Amino acid sequence: MRIHRSPSRLSFRKRRRRAGCASYVLLLGVVASISALTWAWLNRSQPMLAGTNDRLTAARDAFQRGDLDQAIALTRQILAEGFTAAPENYPRAVVLLARALIYRSYGEYNRAADRESALQMTREAVQDSPSNLDITAAYALALAVNGAPGEAADAARRVLDEQPDHTLARTALALAYGAAGSHEVALRESAQAVETAQGDSRLDALRALAIAYGDIGNYELAAQTAEQALALNQNLPLLYFERALYAMQMGNSDDATVAYYQVLTIAPDNIKARLRLCELSSMLREHDNALSYCTEVTERAPSWSDGWYQLGREYFLQGNFAAAQANFHRCSSLQVMQNIPVGERRFECWYLQGQAAQILGDCESLLVTYNEFRAMSADETVLETWVYPPEGPPGCTG
């Protein structure tokens, strides 16, 4: 049977040409009506996005419900309009954006760049508005979480000199002292921040106080303070990760497990929580669970070397040295390919890979791995050592 397609298409075109101008006018009217209805619906369904005040309110609401992506997007819209467009809300947007970026950065394994974004954004805001205390405090906070405690303390003090009860500035100062190793001073400053905290800043102050308690080894008070922070917002993964950490430091694996499951409840795709559950299961000698969680981590995040390390370690502990060697090799190769600075690499991936190879009698792989380690250990930032006799690894000298 032959299908004649061309004649029907030609006849269709003829009918469209005979329709004349009336059909086009009718079509335009229908499109205009649909556009008007769509616009009206959008205005009804998203009334908060109309002005700067409403966008800022929407951003705060998004932060409170844990939707940090939305909070970041809305505050960036406010910043894009510039200081003159909203002189009162611009500093508030800077503070909220910095906080949202920082909280998001610790909530997942691949978000460290958010802290750098917070620093860049606040630095530019300070350059534009150097006399605004809220912006300077946000800049101090970003400096503190980006490994610049000296600069953070200087910026925070500039704010506190003019406004001693500025909670965010004192919180940044506490975090800066903690990062510099002055934990007792950090505890004092964070406790003072909590005393004066009001509104959104209380969450940050409580978190800083919990960190300070943890740094001095008072994990019980750290956990209690973390619970107070969670009472203010139960939708931020970072708070659960820190609560789990304090529980682990007290040897309370049950509370840590609950905290990690809470992360997965509010963020089902979270990979960092799965790695922590793998580590916890391994510590509890729940090897099947550990393998399951770690395998899932490597499947969901194949470019994250930590997942391959933890999976290799679990295989090593279970005596599956061939699988351990293969996973440790993935871990070491990824670190090299990603140009991770030598001093920041996880050298267990090389050492344990070599041990697995030696147990298996794989001298060729052992020597390659050992020589790679020796080449990297020439860097002065490397503190780890792995030395064989001059004649080579035992069993591989023949």
Per-residue model confidence as pLDDT tens digits over 236-267: 999 999 999 999 999 999 999 999 999 999 99
Does 29 score more than 90 pLDDT?
Answer: no
Helix (H, G, I), strand (E, B) or coil at 143: helix
**pLDDT band per the 50, 70, 90 thresholds, residue 34:** low
Between 232 and 398, the higher pLDDT residue: 232
pLDDT digits (tens, 9 = 90+) for 71-124: 999 999 999 998 888 888 999 999 999 999 999 999 999 999 999 999 999 999
Rounded to 10 degrees, the C-alpha dihedral 332/335/336/338 comes to 150
pLDDT digits (tens, 9 = 90+) for 344-364: 999 999 999 999 999 999 999
Burial of 11 (0-12, 13-18, 19+ CB in 10 A): exposed
What is d(CA 215, CA 234) in angstroms, rounded to the nearest whole number? 23
Compute the mean pLDDT over every residue in the chain, rounded to the nearest whole number. 89
Does 205 score more than 80 pLDDT?
Answer: yes
**According to the CATH classification, is domain 303-398 in 1.25.40?**
yes
Alpha carbon 281 to chain centroid distance? 23
**pLDDT band per the 50, 70, 90 thresholds, residue 32:** low
Mean pLDDT of 35-60: 62
Does 36 score more than 70 pLDDT?
Answer: no
3-state helix, strand, coil in the chain (%, to 5): 75, 0, 25
pLDDT for position 201: 93
pLDDT for position 120: 98
Mean pLDDT of 202-230: 98
pLDDT for position 142: 98
Burial of 238 (0-12, 13-18, 19+ CB in 10 A): buried
What is d(CA 375, CA 332) in angstroms, rounded to the nearest whole number? 14
Domain ranges within the chain, ordered by starting residue: 303-398
